Chains A and B, each alone.
Chain A
Amino acid sequence: MIQFLQQLINGLSIGSVYALMAVGYSLVYSIMSFSNFAHGGVIMLGAYFGFFALTLLKLPFIPAFILACAGTTLLAILVERIAYKPLRERNAPFLYFIISAMGASILLENIVIATIGPTFRTYPPVIPRTPIQLGALAVGRLDLIMFFISAVCLTGLILFIEKTKMGKAIQAAAYNIKACALMGVNTDKIILIVFGLGGFLAGVAGVFFGMKYTVYPQIGNITTKSFIAAVFGGLGSLPGAVLGSVLLGTIETLVAGYLSSQFRDLIAFVILIGVLIFRPSGIMGKTTVDKA
């Protein structure tokens, strides 16, 4: 039982970071209806930004954290401006966006390999490794912080979307972006904000992943997981993305703990395929009807 709770806590903390990434994916998908594969690159750079802010600039943790998030926010917007905006302007089909995103992902990963190098780097020990004892449970400090900050970020995001005027505009754009443009909403600004928000959360996720594991150019591949989580929860639905991520993180950790760590990655794809077969709209997604 103790072991199970232990695994559950690990799973929740990983799941909450998946959620940070999945939400970024889902936001972009809900507005622009394509899978932003470049998101992984942004997350990877977030991990590097945080790493260098701590080691080269010797900043304390919190300013380094903020700097990393600011960096990824700008980066995500930059990617949008360069790789997607020209496509938006000529109403290109979604496949062009996907390929452009792939290109951006290859570009980001290899710029890092070419300039920083392919080696693995370890974050300096900002958070003590010693776990906190909660009765018989030993909870990692980092896991707790990850879970807490992720929850704060996600709550903030959901409040922003639900309560502010801009948030309402984003919801409207997700419903029908063309109609929004006709109603005089500045859709370009909405897209900018959506990418900015996704980028910010990618920075948080990147730093956490860097701290939890190590930093290396392919770390962005982990977004495949968040992407699966987003599909699991229902592409385009924010609560769905969060739920899917937490579930996926928990299932993965339990599988790794009780079956074999080799099945850890496989289970994500098994879930993906199962969802696509039995419920392509995911847990919370709506089924859409094509207009003839």
Chain B
Amino acid sequence: MDWFYIQGILMLAGINLIAVLGLSLLTGFTGLFSFGHAGFMAIGAYLGAFMTVSPTTSPAGLGLPFAVGVIAGGAGAGIVSYFIGRITLNLKGDYFCIATLGFGEAIRLILNNVQLFGGSRGWPGVPYKSTLPAIIIVDILAVIFLANLVRSRHGRNMIAVREEELAAQIAGINVFKYKMIALVVSAVYAGVAGVFFGHYMTFIQPKMFSMTKSTELTIIVIFGGLGSISGSVLGALLLTALPEILRAFEIWRLVFYGAAVILIMISRPKGLMGGMELTPAGLRKARNERKARILALKESKNGQNGEAGLG
């Protein structure tokens, strides 16, 4: 394997990671499942391309710098998600899932039918702007932003929504608002990922952003472990690299993939990290939790009943 090939895999993994981190906030920390985030990636990819593609090619763009494309792609996806959130976030569990699926597919079908951006034939001529250092920098920023958000009262409120929505409301948490923040942030992440994806592939087509792509992102989040940022990072690296490494088995790799997903669900549903973080603070926390559990177990074994001591 030459460096060029490895670099390609790393770039794809890094791009996936951006989207996965956003979805991790929505799914892992806030407990909302989406099967439509490829739609936000599509919005990012197309808006980004519209900004950077040269005005002389067809379909034409504005020929602006890449940075403008990144900002526009992220912001565009965020704004669309806000309006989608307004009408879907009040829906219960499964229905929200279905609604995101519907919106994701609708975005794809609209792009398919709008000839302005090349329709279903796609849009060639997107400039090659995604470099590995740029992707790594965005990944690092994305992780820091997310980690700091999650470890604040805002993040705790989102986790409370995931854990027990009704109790969260009774604890004075504006459930709708925090679901909305999680959705918009995750959509901005997906949008930015879409911009980088388009400027890596140099060609975009609506069918790249189908439900399969959305599912893939969700599966990575679950594989890494819900509520764990380090899990999402590991998951994105492993699950992007794995199919590439399995290329030798070409046609069988997605069979393994499907089987692996079922296997994870039925055998290790908490994913790789199971809500733990691979950081000094995260490990300390896990250790304390274990200690407390052992202590509690000992106490209840010591004959006294564990429920005594009220008042």
Interface residues of A (CB under 8 A from B): 33-35, 82-83, 86-87, 92, 94-96, 98-100, 102-111, 113-114, 224, 227-228, 231, 235, 262-263, 265-266, 269-270, 272-273, 276-277, 280, 290, 292
Contacts and interface: CB of A to CB of B under 8 A. Distances in A.
Contacts of B265: 83, 87, 92, 96, 99-100, 103
Contacts of B106: 266, 269-270, 273
Interface stretch (B71-79, B89-97, B127-135): B89-97
Nearest to A224: B105
Closest 8 pairs (CB-CB, A-B): A107-B258, A103-B261, A106-B258, A110-B254, A86-B266, A103-B262, A100-B265, A269-B106
Contact of A82 (B93, B109, B113, B262): B262
B255 interface: yes
Contact of B94 (A94, A99, A105): A94
Contacts of B109: 265-266, 269
Interface string B255-290: 101111110011101000000000000000000000
Nearest to A102: B215
B270 to A, nearest CB: 10
A107 B257 CA distance: 7
Contacts of A83: 262, 265-266
A111 B255 CA distance: 6
15 contacts: A82-B266, A83-B262, A87-B265, A92-B265, A99-B218, A100-B266, A107-B255, A107-B258, A107-B261, A110-B255, A262-B112, A263-B113, A266-B109, A266-B113, A280-B92
Q: How large is the interface on B (under 10, 10 to 19, 20 to 34, 35 or more residues)?
A: 35 or more
Majority secondary structure of chain A interface residues (helix, strand, loop or mixed): helix
A100 B88 contact: no
A82 to B, nearest CB: 7
A34 B94 contact: yes
Nearest to B262: A103
A12 to B, nearest CB: 24
B266 A87 contact: yes
Nearest to B218: A99
Contact of A276 (B95, B105, B257): B95
Contacts of B266: 82-83, 86-87, 100
Contacts of B251: 110, 113-114
A35 B98 contact: yes
Given A33-B94, A103-B262, A273 B103 contact: yes
B262 A100 contact: yes
B219 to A, nearest CB: 7
Interface string B209-220: 001000100110
A102 B258 CA distance: 8
A99 B222 contact: yes
Contact of B105 (A106, A113, A263, A269): A269
Contacts of A111: 255
